[in-house]
Amino acid sequence: TKEIRPEKYYIYILRVERANQPDPSYLFRSYKEFCEFQHKICIMFPLAKCYSLQGTSLHVGRSNIKQVAAKRMVEIKKFLSSLFLMADEICHSDLVYTFFHPLLRDQQEASIHQAKLKDRKKDRLMNNDPYIIKGQINLYIHYEKDTLWVMVQHVQGLNYLPNG
């Protein structure tokens, strides 16, 4: 028998900054959700000229998925930029507010995403400790006639000292 697996897809993370709220929220949307959103805008506002996301197919094969995801991200950015340049009745419509309203999924994913960001920040801070020496030095050391010769051939990935 054939095992049926749920559909796999990329999730695009949107950082949403709202007026009168100091902290941004993060929304997690699929390309399919963006296409459905764009389609609904076209239905509700048929005279509006909205950037079309229909340039790439919703279905992607197994090859080139990263390139397709990167291309789609550019398309989504263009779509969102064009959306927020539209008339207020469109960009402030209930449809737009609903799409950008956080879902339970967004809150769950955001906590995972923030934990990952904190881990990366902690790793970055640990890697930038000026008193931990990291990197590589290739030395040529030679002792001849009571003289020690040290030649530094190349250095790579060393941290700078805080005071020079």
pLDDT tens column, 109-130: 777 666 666 665 555 555 555 5
Least confident among 16-20, 26-30, 122-126: 122-126
Burial of residue 91 (number of CB atoms within 10 Å: 0-12, 13-18, 19+): middle
User: Is pLDDT at 1 greater than 50 in this prediction?
Assistant: no
Cα–Cα distance, 157 to 138 (Å, whole number): 12
Cα–Cα distance, 20 to 7 (Å, whole number): 38
pLDDT tens column, 56-110: 555 555 567 788 888 899 999 999 999 999 999 999 999 999 999 988 888 887 7
Residues 6 or more apart in contact with residue 8 via CB below 8 angstroms: none
Paired sense of beta strands 136-144 and 11-16, if any? unpaired
The pTM (predicted TM-score) of the whole model is: 0.62
Which pLDDT value is given to residue 59? 54
Cα–Cα distance, 33 to 37 (Å, whole number): 6
Tell me: domain 11-127, CATH 3.40.50.300, correct?
no
Looking at 1-133, list the stretches that DSSP marks H as alpha helix, in order from N- to C-terminal side.
31-44, 65-83, 88-91, 94-99, 104-127
